[in-house]
């Protein structure tokens, strides 16, 4: 392994005046991480040029309370916990050190500057700690990806999936494919290289079966978009005639005035997206323009976008107005909507405060008062788990 630089970086968010942290963690990784730790905690060690493994170093993997100081002036920067890990038993596989300091701007700024002044450490590039862990065989690419997913996870379900992947679920699947591929290849090569030998009968069938199985498993895996949906969010399109209350429903689910609501038919033109956490599942909910024939070019474009979004969405919420002739609208719209699936898509009849609706096949709602919202949420949860 090539001798690498010793790198350092703040591992926690940059403290600001508005958001100082209780604690900030600075990590160092590389052959001189413990030298740095000694020079930052032992008065005058830097000028005397003491090297690692002297008594100033606490036992590895044990937190120790130390005064962190400027290596040149000896001035104290903070008092905090320090710890170090001996290579290769560390996250990166290299010698690592951590400083757990108070999360103020001056403390963190002072400590980073002190490490820079040592002259033998450099700031890590983005992702460089993970890269080193990968290069030292501490994690594979599926696990590195899982860590990125875990850090980016905003909902419970996203976190669970990332953790599974970090535990090697994907790694094991790919390993199984590799084993199957290698075995099939070995059989095939044996049949080619030793055609005259007495190979077990049926070897050609085995090769064919192996290839078919591998192809089918990979195709099924690529088809399964659950992981992708969980990462990007399930997409739900709200569609329906003008003035039915689509934007009102979006605002109700988003719990904020994300879209303009007005009694003017044709208010919404663009697709308006909000990102929601519905029971642990990430959802991208899109409000769209009301579907109607219009001579206005902008509204026509809005309707075109609404239809495109309805087609692309994982499923659709069709919103109708209880005080209008919603049954005929329902028939016309479901017939005209591409990919309409009665088992998956949901019909919401809104404004039940104006006219009552007795139909077990639809969710009845009042977007203004919130009546019927629990039933709608229950339906949404059910649909997602299907």
Ligand X SMILES: Nc1nc2c(ncn2[C@@H]2O[C@H](COP(=O)(O)OP(=O)(O)OP(=O)(O)O)[C@@H](O)[C@H]2O)c(=O)[nH]1
Q: Which residues bind ligand X (CB under 6 A)?
A: 242-248, 261-263, 265-268, 289-290, 350-351, 353-354, 366-368
Q: Write phi, then psi, for 276 (nearest 5 degrees).
A: -125, 155
372 touches, from Mg ion, ligand X, none (C-beta below 5 to 8 Å by class)? none
Closest separation in Å from C-beta 302 to ligand X: 9
**CA dist 121 → 29, 79, 89, 118, 297 (Å):** 9, 21, 21, 7, 61
- What number of CA atoms fall less than 13 Å from residue 97's CA on the CB side? 28
DSSP letter string, 213-274: HHHHHHHHHHH--HHHHHHH-EEEEEE-STTSSHHHHHHHHHTS--S---SSTT---S-EEE
Tokens (6 digits) for 357: 């609706």
The DSSP H or E segment spanning 285 is strand 281-287
Site pattern 260..299 for Mg ion (x: CB under 5 A): -------xx-------------------------------
Residue 245 binding: pick among ligand X, Mg ion, none (C-beta 5-8 Å cut-off by kind): ligand X
Query: In 3-state terms, what secondary structure has residue 78?
Result: strand
Least distance (Å) between residue 246 CB and Mg ion: 5
SS (H, E, C) 113-159: HHHHHHCCEEECCCCHHHHHHHHCCCCCHHHHHHHHHHHHCCCHHHH
Under rule CB under 5 A, residue 247 binds Mg ion: yes
Pick between residue 9 and residue 352 the one whose CB is nearest to ligand X. Answer: 352
Which partner, ligand X, Mg ion, none, binds residue 294 by CB below 5 to 8 Å per kind?
none
Nearer to ligand X, 41 or 248 (CB): 248
Nearest approach in angstroms of CB 291 to ligand X is: 8
Closest separation between CB of residue 301 and Mg ion, Å?
15
Residue 238 CB, nearest approach to ligand X (Å):
8
Closest chain position to ligand X (CB): 290
Q: Which residues bind Mg ion (CB under 5 A)?
A: 246-247, 267-268
């Amino acid at each position: 392994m090539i001798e690498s630089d010793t790198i350092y970086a703040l591992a926690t968010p940059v403290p600001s005046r508005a958001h100082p942290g209780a604690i900030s963690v600075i990590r160092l990784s590389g052959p001189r991480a413990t030298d740095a730790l000694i020079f930052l905690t032992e008065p005058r060690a830097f000028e005397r040029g003491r090297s690692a493994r002297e008594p100033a170093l606490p036992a590895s993997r044990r937190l120790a309370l130390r005064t962190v100081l400027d290596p040149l002036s000896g001035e104290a920067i903070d008092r905090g916990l320090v710890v170090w890990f001996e290579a290769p038993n560390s996250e990166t596989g290299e010698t690592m050190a951590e400083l757990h300091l108070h999360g103020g701007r001056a403390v963190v700024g002072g400590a980073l500057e002190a490490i820079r002044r040592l002259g033998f450490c450099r700031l890590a590039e983005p992702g460089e700690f993970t890269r080193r862990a990968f290069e030292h065989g501490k994690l594979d690419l599926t696990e590195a990806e899982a860590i990125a997913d875990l850090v980016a996870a905003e909902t419970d379900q996203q976190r669970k999936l990332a953790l599974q992947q970090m535990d090697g679920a994907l790694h094991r699947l790919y390993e199984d494919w590799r084993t199957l591929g290698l075995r099939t290849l070995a059989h095939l090569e044996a049949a080619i290289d030793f055609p005259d030998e007495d190979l077990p009968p049926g070897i050609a069938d085995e090769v064919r079966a192996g290839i078919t199985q591998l192809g089918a498993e990979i195709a099924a895996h690529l088809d399964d978009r659950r992981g992708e949906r969980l990462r990007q969010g399930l997409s739900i399109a709200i569609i329906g005639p003008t003035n039915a209350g689509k934007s009102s429903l979006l605002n109700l689910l988003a719990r904020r005035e994300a879209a303009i609501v007005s009694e003017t038919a044709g208010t919404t033109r663009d697709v308006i997206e909000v990102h929601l956490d519905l029971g642990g599942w990430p959802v991208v909910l899109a409000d769209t323009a009301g579907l109607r024939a219009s001579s206005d070019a902008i509204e026509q474009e809005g309707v075109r976008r609404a239809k495109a979004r309805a087609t692309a969405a994982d499923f659709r919420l069709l919103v109708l107005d209880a005080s209008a002739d919603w049954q005929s609208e329902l028939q016309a719209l479901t017939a005209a909507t591409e990919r309409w699936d009665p088992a998956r898509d949901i019909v919401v009849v809104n404004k039940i405060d104006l006219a009552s609706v007795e139909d077990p096949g639809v969710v009845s709602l009042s977007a203004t008062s919130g009546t019927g919202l629990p039933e709608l949420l229950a339906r949404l949860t059910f649909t997602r788990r299907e």
